[in-house]
Amino acid sequence: MKTKTDKKIYLDYAGTTPVDKEVLREMLPYFNKKFGNASSIHSFGQEAIAAIDKAREKIAKLFNCDFSEIIFTGSATESNNLMIKGLVKSQISNLKSQKFHIISTKTEHESVLEPLKELERAGHKVTYLPVDKDGLIKISDLEKNIKDNTILISIIYANNEIGTIQPIKEIGKLLEKINKKRQENGLSKIYFHTDTVQALNYLECRPDWLKVDLLTFSGHKIYGPKGIGGLYVRKGTPLSAIISGGSQEFGLRSGTENVPYIAGMAKAVELAFKNREKHSKYILDLRNKLWENIIKYNKDIKLNGSFGSRLPNNLNMRFAGLSNETLIIALDQAGIAVSAGSACSSRALAASHVLKAIGLTSKQMKESIRITLGKNTTKEEIKRAAEIINKTVKQFIN
| Residues catalogued as catalytic | 344
Cα separation, 366 vs 318, whole angstroms:
8
Q: Which stretch binds ligand PLP (CB under 6 A): 73-81, 117-125, 232-240, 331-339?
A: 73-81
Residue 75 interacting with ligand PLP (CB under 6 A): yes
Cα angle: 141, vertex 85, 82; to 5 degrees: 105
R_g (Cα) of the chain, nearest Å: 22
Q: Which is nearer to ligand PLP, 149 or 280 (CB)?
A: 280
Residue 374 interacting with ligand PLP (CB under 6 A): no
The contact pattern for ligand PLP, residues 106-125, with x = CB under 6 A and - = no contact, is ---x-x--------------
Burial profile 19-52: b = 16 or more Cβ within 10 angstroms, e = fewer: bbeebbebbeebeeebebebeeeeeeeebbbebb
Q: Which stretch binds ligand PLP (CB under 6 A): 71-79, 176-184, 185-193, 358-366?
A: 71-79
Q: CA 342 → CA 194, 248, 349, 355, distances in Å?
A: 20, 34, 6, 10
Q: Which stretch binds ligand PLP (CB under 6 A): 72-80, 238-246, 361-369, 373-381?
A: 72-80
The contact pattern for ligand PLP, residues 189-208, with x = CB under 6 A and - = no contact, is ------x-xx----------
Cα separation, 58 vs 19, whole angstroms:
19
Q: Which is nearer to ligand PLP, 125 or 169 (CB)?
A: 169
Q: Which is nearer to ligand PLP, 137 or 386 (CB)?
A: 137
Q: Environment class of residue 89 by beta-carbon count within 10 Å: exposed (0-12), middle (13-18) or buried (19+)? A: middle
Burial profile 166-205: b = 16 or more Cβ within 10 angstroms, e = fewer: bbbbebbebbeebbeebeeeebbbbbbbbbbbbbbbbbeb
- Using CB under 6 A as the binding rule, the residues of this chain from 159 to 178 that contact ligand PLP are 160
Cα separation, 24 vs 263, whole angstroms:
9
Q: Which is nearer to ligand PLP, 198 or 237 (CB)?
A: 198
Of 91, 127, 194, 218, the residue at the interface with ligand PLP (CB under 6 A) is: 218
Q: Which residues pair with 317 in a beta bridge?
A: 303, 369
Q: How far is the CB of 220 from ligand PLP (least distance, A)?
A: 6
Of 207, 229, 264, 341, the residue at the interface with ligand PLP (CB under 6 A) is: 229
Of 12, 27, 77, 213, the residue at the interface with ligand PLP (CB under 6 A) is: 77
Residue 318 interacting with ligand PLP (CB under 6 A): no
Using CB under 6 A as the binding criterion, the count of chain residues that bind ligand PLP stands at: 12
The contact pattern for ligand PLP, residues 127-166, with x = CB under 6 A and - = no contact, is -----------------------------x---x------
Q: Which is nearer to ligand PLP, 77 or 298 (CB)?
A: 77
Q: How far is the CB of 14 from ligand PLP (least distance, A)?
A: 7
- Give residues in contact with ligand PLP (CB under 6 A): 75-77, 109, 111, 156, 160, 195, 197-198, 218, 229
